[in-house]
Amino acid sequence: MLKLSELLKKTHSIFDNLFSIERDYFTIGGLKKDLSFFFKKRNIFHHFIDRIKFQYYPKLLMSSSFPTHLEVEAASKCQMRCPMCYTTYMKDHFKGIMKMDLYKKIIDEAADNNTYSIKLSWRGEPLLNPNLVEMIKYAKKKGIKDVAFLTNAELLNDKKSKELIESGLDWISISADGTDEIYNKIRFPAKFNETIEKIKTFKKIRDEKKQTKPLIRVQSILTALENNSSKFYKSWEGIVDKINVIADHIRDYGMDTKKIEYNEMFLCPKPFQRLTIGHDGKVHQCINDYDGKNILGNVSNQSIKEVWDGEQSRKLRNSFKNHTFLKENVSCNYCSYAFAQEKSSLTKIVEGLNLKIKRYKSAHKVVDDGKVLETPESLIPLNKIEEYRKMLKKENSN
């Protein structure tokens, strides 16, 4: 017989599955900013229908006949070595660039089946793909209504900004954790002030062309903001269209799972919403399956539809329906989405502006009491080691 505490925990998890939209993703400015971003995207009717399929079908254990969204990895390699990113520790044979012929095959089928959105990023930095602008143009030409990607923006320059703005890109998300020294250490070798200037220039070019798109979003992990949320907000407000905060995630696949407190009733929406397609065509279980522990298929020699309806995809969905996902899927054991959560907050971001947040109990903090998790020096590119050492020495002396 279940103890009362266990029963209450399970009941809370069920309600959380039904009524929670974003478990770990929070907007400074709340619903007002979210709605503003929603309406600026345009395609209001189609976007509304897509949100119902994307957010609410999974809650009813339903999936569309074809994925409403695709993660299409333009590049799985990255020039940065951020301490909290698994790509930093990922083996070289997982790293590469998606070829254009494979990409067109994916987009052609997606367009024929009315996929609403694609994101051209996952493990790596999309700007490392020399065909990125053409990829965006091709998707828009084929009728994909929402095309976006995440970037660290270090490789962004005036020429590339102009090309992206003219490509038809719908929105771009800048990963910028914290400010000043915290940002510089996490996002080495980028510099906070230089990144701000790059995005100011991006917005200036967009506005001069009298365009509202691409919309610009910036996001930071929670612990990078706990001591400087006000400066972060003031630095980006007026430059970007939306400012988001993300709970810190686990990025340690060697972590002892016995020390993790799981939400065993968690219902992951991803198997019901989308497919995650790597640069080489392999379809991974989800965006957390960095090193391909559960490959659902390969769109190099299969159709997206075959993978979506295939045995591996059905087994994955059933594991959540039956609450057996932790036993059946190795990657789920290292996925923060399946962790128990606790309440947190950012207070006094500016006068009268606070933000209620949920953090994952078992995820280590990237920034703990102002101290930033360091990337092992052995993983820093040889031509950047001296610069990295000087930066650490400067940080540690402050």
- Report which of 262, 224, 228 is spatially closest to residue 363, judged by C-alpha positions: 262
Q: What is the pLDDT of residue 100?
A: 98
Per-residue pLDDT at 395: 65
More confident residue, 151 or 47: 151
pLDDT at residue 17 greater than cutoff 90 = no
- Predicted confidence band of residue 9 (pLDDT cuts 50, 70, 90): low
- What pLDDT is attached to residue 250? 76
Name which residue leads in pLDDT, 200 or 254.
200
Q: pTM of the predicted model, to two decimals?
A: 0.92
Mean pLDDT over residues 159-173, rounded?
A: 98
What count of Cα atoms within 13 Å lies in the side-chain half-sphere of residue 150?
15
192, containing H or E segment: helix 192-208
Task: Please write the tens of the pLDDT for every residue from 32-52.
Answer: 888 999 899 988 999 999 989
Q: Among 157-161, 253-257, 318-322, which stretch is predicted with the lowest mean pLDDT?
A: 253-257
The predicted structure's pLDDT at residue 361:
87
Mode of pairing for the β-strands spanning 341-350 and 171-175: unpaired
Mean pLDDT of all residues belonging to the chain: 91
CB atoms within 10 A of CB 8: 11
Q: Whose structure tokens read 């990025």?
A: 251
Averaged pLDDT, 362-379 = 89
Question: Is the pLDDT assigned to residue 157 strictly greater than 60?
Answer: yes
Give the number of other CB atoms < 10 A from CB of residue 309: 14
Tell me the C-alpha distance between 326 and 266, whole Å. 10
Of residues 37 and 349, more confidence is placed in 37
Q: How confident is the model at residue 25 (pLDDT cuts 50, 70, 90)?
A: confident
The Cα–Cα gap between 14 and 379 comes to 41
Report how far residue 212's alpha carbon sits from residue 197's, in angstroms, rounded to the nearest whole number: 19
Select the highest-mean-pLDDT range: 173-182, 245-254, 352-361, 378-387.
Answer: 173-182
pLDDT at 346: 79
Return the closest-CA partner of residue 219 out of 194, 197, 187: 187
In this prediction, residues 66-73 reach a mean pLDDT of 97
Q: Which of 227, 337, 246, 349 is closest to 289 using CA atoms? A: 337
Question: In the prediction, which pLDDT does 4 show?
Answer: 64
Query: Strands 282-284, 117-119: parallel, antiparallel or unpaired by DSSP?
Result: unpaired
The predicted model gives 293-309 an average pLDDT of: 97
The pLDDT value given to residue 253: 64
Paired residues of 174 in beta bridges: 151, 218
Helix or strand holding residue 16 (H, E): helix 4-19
In the prediction, which pLDDT does 37 show?
Answer: 92
Can you give the pLDDT at residue 2? 53
Q: What is residue 265's predicted lDDT score, i.e. its pLDDT?
A: 87
Q: Pick the residue with more confidence: 251 or 63?
A: 63
Burial class (CB in 10 A: 0-12, 13-18, 19+), 40: middle
Which is higher by pLDDT, 90 or 118?
118
- Other beta carbons within 10 angstroms of residue 66's beta carbon come to 17
158 or 393: which carries more pLDDT confidence?
Answer: 158
Alpha-carbon gap, residue 367 to 344, rounded angstroms: 15
CA distance 114 to 124: 26
pLDDT digits (tens, 9 = 90+) for 175-198: 999 999 999 999 999 999 999 999
Q: In this model, does residue 348 exceed pLDDT 90?
A: no
Please compute the mean of the pLDDT values over residues 85-112 and round it to a whole number: 95
Instruction: Provide CB contacts within 8 A for 10, sequence distance 6+.
Output: 2, 265
What's the whole-number mean pLDDT along residues 109-126?
A: 97
Pick 163 or 15 by higher pLDDT. 163
How confident is the model over 65-87, as a mean pLDDT? 95
- pLDDT bracket for residue 158 (50, 70, 90): very high
Q: How many CA atoms lie within 13 A of 145 on its CB side?
A: 17
Residue 210 has pLDDT above 60, yes or no: yes
pLDDT at 228 over 70: yes
Say how far apart CA 315 and CA 303 lie, in whole Å.
Answer: 18
Chain segment 263-284, per-residue pLDDT in tens: 888 999 999 999 999 999 999 9
End-to-end CA distance of the chain: 56
Please state, in angstroms and as integers, the Cα–Cα distance from residue 392 to each residue in 85, 184, 188, 341, 352, following that order: 19, 10, 10, 32, 36
Burial status of residue 141 (CB atoms within 10 A of its CB: 0-12, 13-18, 19 or more): exposed
**Residue 97, pLDDT above cutoff 70:** yes
Q: Are 286 and 296 in contact (CB under 8 A)?
A: no
